[in-house]
Amino acid sequence: MRDFLRRHYLPDNFPTGATLGLAATGIFIALVTLTLEFYGWQQPFLRMAGPVFGLGDLSRNELNFYAQVYTSASFFVLLVMLPGLLHLFAPLRGNNPYGLSARNFGANLRLYLPLLLVMLPVLWVACGNPAFSDFYPLYKPATLRDLVLYEAIYLTQFIAVEFFYRGFCLFRFERLAPGLGVFIMVIPYALLHIHKPFPEAAGSVVAGLVLGALALKSRSIWPGVFTHCTVALSADVFALLHSGRMAQLLQ
């Protein structure tokens, strides 16, 4: 297999030890992405809610809440547990191989603050568009307590996303193909947003490149987790404010 890949697909000067690792990592990510697409999101859950989970009598909004629980759990299994198992069989050498160190979190977070200062005003304007304010949040809370519970479940999804794309994918590809890790990682990351409104999906390419570069510089996923969670939470809050539903929750 290694000789076949080198002969047909890889340049002559490509590191010998990286050949099979690059192929195996790419195949693994492709399988995880397909499984996530067909079975890991809200829509597959909604199709299975009645026949599989016996929840067919619930309202659509109640089903949306449980769909998010299902999605967050799926993301954790597919994007955290499975890569963790792969690491047991094919580990990256060295300390902090996937950027899980929280050392110098405050100093590293300052690298991300300009990104937030740019993104949040843009997000506020975008959420004024009915395409966004009607879409977010996916679950429409009846009380402030419902909103807090939903957001706590929802945000765990982004911890899994950052671990997989800015941790596992990025650091593994960067080790196997130095200098190309960010650009390879952003391809499956952009496809993760294929269900979202197009401006957000297109913006994920830029965001993925920036977050990937910053993760490599800081050697940590945690400032990116904070940034991603802040943006995701802000999108829901801004949409609720624009639609007038936040005022109803605060009454």
pLDDT in tens, the chain (251 residues): 445 444 444 445 544 455 566 778 888 999 999 999 999 999 999 999 888 888 888 899 999 999 999 999 999 999 999 999 988 887 777 788 889 988 888 888 998 999 899 989 988 998 888 878 777 888 999 999 999 999 999 999 999 999 999 999 999 888 888 888 999 999 999 999 888 778 878 888 998 999 999 999 999 999 999 999 999 999 999 999 998 889 888 87
From 154, 129, 195, 174, select the one nearest 67 (Cα to Cα). 154
Distances in whole angstroms, Cα of residue 177 to Cα of each of 25, 30, 59, 76, 180: 11, 17, 49, 26, 6
Find all residues with CB under 8 Å of 81, minimum gap 6, and list them. none
- Predicted pLDDT of residue 196: 78
Q: CA separation (Å) from 168 to 35, 70, 85, 112, 171?
A: 17, 22, 12, 20, 6
Task: Convert 81-100 to b/e letters by CB count within 10 Å (16 or more is b).
Answer: ebbeebeeeeeeeeeeebbe
Most distant pair of Cα atoms in the chain: their distance: 68
Can you say whether the dihedral through the CA atoms of 108, 112, 114, 120 is positive or negative?
A: negative
Q: Where are the domains of the chain?
A: 28-250
Output the pTM of the full model.
Answer: 0.86
CB-based contact 97:215 (threshold 8 Å)? no
Q: Which two tokens stand for residue 180?
A: 């190309």
- Rounded Cα gap, residues 219 and 166, in angstroms: 10
Residue 18 DSSP class: G
User: Cis ω on the peptide bond leading into residue 137 (within 30° of 0)?
Assistant: yes
- pLDDT at position 39 is 93
